């Protein structure tokens, strides 16, 4: 029997993580998921008939298909495509949440369903795989692979841990800093998780936590804090994730302009730091306070092992220096996008091409690790969003909801701000795709702003800032699913910690809307108009 070395980073590669056993509830959900999904699709698409209130204004509709349907049936009923889209949407959510089948397979099923039912033409449905944000994700995985292949990411992380990780508290701070810096360059949160996982797993083992039955508060804290930082870090930068770029593109199209990298960073970087430090404090002081015994290494010579790993890397090689130059150049182009107008995706394209060039490049194509099953999952989410957009289902639904709740044209800005940002952030508990939430709720925010006469930026951008809060439950995001497999924490642990941060993030967004966002001109008179 091969001896398992808990301090060997190679033991914590993604493909070597043990497959977590499903709980009884999860197994039941996986069995009934397809039945529930099929029933929801049939009932919502072909059995139930829904009506709108009479106040729907056809001028507010975006898609030609929805306008044509409105002309034929008036404001009193969903069109056939509205019903089918609602059925496909609900069935997809059920399959994603119950994990009855792999998420990429659910995406493939919903894409062909949109085609066969006539909701989307084939060209539009299949074209989502070539979406701008898809290309950014692919290029980001190329650049992340360059970091891994050259050892630059490992060198930086080990250096920071060895240099400043003198005790448990400074180790957590070190990972916070690492996540902030990686978030600037890597727009794929899964890639960040893959880079950092072996390092924080080794440190967890040093402090006596190897997962499974050997859980402790240090292990819970380091894994859940990294999960939080991986996602929250992405919120501070336009290029932090493809979903951010998609949100900016939707808002830019609505205002006839652009949301720049520097604009997004100026607004969200301070908020991001506040949330990350809040997570650090809550983890160590409230949810996972360390006993004196848990605050010291449990494996003798463990930290020395990390120092030895760092020493093995030797001096910084020429290829690492070239990789660093590429990333500095990319960052420079991103932060100066107002001056040259080159999109973040185009900049990532250029960086990836240079990295892959024969002889003068840094990484070979065979060394690039692109998780195509995740790409297919994302393509399905984009196709679902395209279907929602084509049928105007989100806009029609929110208008009817507002009418039913008595929210009229005299509604105060604060009410709309609280509802839209709240729905966006708390919907992350139920959804499995940031992209899908963006494609549903950003058009709604734009439509609501237009309807009530407010600036699109004032409502849509704060809603977009709520995109990255996908850390409460394992199915909420790919990094959440990945880190749950480490066995270091339970569903209860991640829910209590994550939901608390989620509530705090919403409240901080409200405070920022009244103060910092108002100073920047995002919310013209603040949220409540107190100052």
Positive or negative, the CA dihedral 272, 278, 281, 287 is negative
What band does 307 get if pLDDT is binned at 50, 70 and 90? confident
408: which residues sit within 8 A by CB, 6+ positions away? none
Q: What is the pLDDT of residues 249-280, one digit of tens each?
A: 888 877 877 788 888 999 999 999 999 999 99
Q: What pLDDT sits at residue 56?
A: 52
Q: What pLDDT sits at residue 331?
A: 77
CB of 178 within 8 A of CB of 157? yes
Q: Which helix (H) or strand (E) holds 322?
A: helix 318-335
CB of 238 within 8 A of CB of 427? no
Q: What pLDDT sits at residue 129?
A: 75
330: which residues sit within 8 A by CB, 6+ positions away? 143, 185, 347, 348, 350, 351
Rounded to 5°, angle at Cα 403 from 402 and 407: 60
Q: What is the pLDDT of residues 119-159, one digit of tens each?
A: 888 888 888 777 776 777 777 777 777 777 777 777 777 77
Q: Is the pLDDT of residue 99 over 70?
A: yes
- The partner residues of 524 in beta bridges, in order of sequence, read 526
Q: What pLDDT sits at residue 14?
A: 57
Q: Is the pLDDT of residue 387 over 90?
A: no
Q: What pLDDT sits at residue 100?
A: 81
What are 104's two structure tokens?
Answer: 């990429």
The lowest-confidence range among 38-52, 210-224, 369-383, 490-504 is 369-383
What band does 75 get if pLDDT is binned at 50, 70 and 90? very low
CB of 299 within 8 A of CB of 4? no
Give the global pTM.
Answer: 0.74
Coil vs helix vs strand at 74: helix
Q: What pLDDT sits at residue 364?
A: 80
122 versus 331: the higher-pLDDT residue is: 122
How is 333-387 classified by DSSP, letter by letter? HHHTHHHH---HHHHHHHHHHHHHSTTT-S--GGG----HHHHHHHHHHHHHHHH
Phi first, then psi: give them for residue 241, nearest 5 degrees: -160, 160
Q: What pLDDT sits at residue 35?
A: 92
What are 394's two structure tokens?
Answer: 């989100």
What band does 498 get if pLDDT is binned at 50, 70 and 90? very high
Coil vs helix vs strand at 526: strand
Q: What pLDDT sits at residue 228?
A: 93
CB of 173 within 8 A of CB of 278? no
CA–CA distance, 267 with 382 (Å, rounded to integer) = 27
Q: What pLDDT sits at residue 395?
A: 67
Exposed/middle/buried for 469, CB within 10 Å: 0-12, 13-18, 19+?
buried
* Average pLDDT of the residues in 36-54: 79
The mean of the pLDDT values for the chain is 79
Q: What pLDDT sits at residue 120?
A: 84
* Average pLDDT of the residues in 355-374: 76
- The partner residues of 211 in beta bridges, in order of sequence, read 214
CA–CA distance, 175 with 71 (Å, rounded to integer) = 57
Give the N- to C-terminal CA distance of the chain in Å, as an integer. Answer: 69
Q: What pLDDT sits at residue 64?
A: 56
* Average pLDDT of the residues in 229-250: 86
Q: Which of 212-221, 232-241, 279-288 has the highest mean pLDDT?
A: 279-288
What band does 54 get if pLDDT is binned at 50, 70 and 90? very low
Q: What pLDDT sits at residue 506?
A: 95
């Amino acid at each position: 029997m091969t001896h398992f070395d808990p301090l060997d980073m190679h033991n914590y590669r993604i493909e070597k993580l043990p497959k977590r056993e499903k709980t009884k509830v999860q197994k039941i959900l996986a069995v009934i998921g397809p039945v529930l999904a099929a029933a929801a699709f049939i009932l919502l698409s072909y059995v139930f008939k829904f009506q709108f209130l009479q106040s729907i204004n056809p001028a507010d509709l975006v898609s030609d298909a929805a306008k044509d349907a409105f002309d034929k049936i008036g404001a009193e009923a969903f069109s056939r495509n509205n019903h089918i889209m609602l059925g496909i949407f609900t069935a997809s959510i059920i399959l994603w949440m119950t994990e009855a089948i792999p998420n990429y397979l659910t995406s493939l099923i919903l894409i062909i369903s949109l085609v066969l039912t006539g909701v989307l033409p084939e060209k539009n449905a299949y074209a989502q795989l070539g979406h701008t944000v898809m290309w950014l994700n692919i290029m980001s995985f190329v650049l992340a692979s360059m970091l891994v292949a050259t050892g630059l990411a490992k060198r930086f992380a080990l250096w920071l841990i060895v240099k400043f990780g003198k005790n448990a508290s400074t180790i957590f701070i070190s990972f916070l800093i690492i996540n902030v810096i990686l978030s600037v360059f890597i727009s794929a949160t899964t890639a960040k998780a893959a880079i950092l996982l072996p390092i924080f797993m080794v440190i967890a083992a040093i402090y006596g936590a190897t997962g499974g039955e050997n859980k402790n508060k240090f292990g819970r804290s380091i894994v859940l804090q990294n999960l939080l930082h991986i996602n929250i870090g992405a919120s501070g930068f336009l290029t932090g994730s493809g979903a951010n770029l998609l949100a900016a593109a939707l808002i830019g199209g609505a205002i006839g302009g652009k949301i720049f990298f520097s604009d997004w960073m100026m607004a969200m970087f301070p908020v991001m730091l506040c949330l990350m430090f809040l997570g650090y404090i809550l983890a160590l002081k409230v949810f996972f306070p360390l006993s004196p015994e848990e605050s010291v290494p449990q494996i003798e010579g463990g930290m020395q092992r990390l120092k030895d790993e760092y020493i093995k890397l030797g001096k910084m090689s020429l290829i690492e220096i070239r990789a660093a130059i590429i990333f500095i150049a990319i960052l420079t182009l991103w932060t100066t996008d107002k001056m040259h107008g080159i999109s973040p995706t185009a900049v990532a394209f250029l960086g990836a091409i240079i990295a892959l060039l024969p002889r003068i490049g840094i990484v070979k194509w065979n060394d690039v690790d692109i998780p195509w099953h995740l790409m297919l999952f994302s393509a399905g989410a984009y196709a679902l969003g395209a279907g929602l957009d084509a049928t105007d289902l989100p806009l029609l639904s929110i208008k009817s909801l507002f009418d039913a709740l008595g929210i009229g044209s005299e509604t105060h800005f604060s009410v709309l701000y609280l509802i839209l940002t709240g729905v966006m952030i708390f919907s992350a508990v139920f959804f499995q795709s940031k992209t899908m939430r963006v494609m549903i709720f950003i058009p709604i925010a734009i439509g609501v702003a237009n309807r009530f006469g407010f600036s699109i930026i004032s409502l849509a951008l704060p809603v977009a800032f709520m995109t990255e809060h996908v850390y409460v439950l394992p199915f909420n995001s790919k990094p959440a699913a990945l880190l749950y497999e480490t066995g270091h924490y339970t569903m209860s642990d991640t829910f209590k910690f994550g939901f608390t941060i989620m509530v705090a993030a919403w409240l901080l967004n409200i405070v920022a809307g009244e103060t910092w966002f108002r100073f920047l001109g995002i919310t013209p008179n603040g949220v409540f108009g107190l100052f």
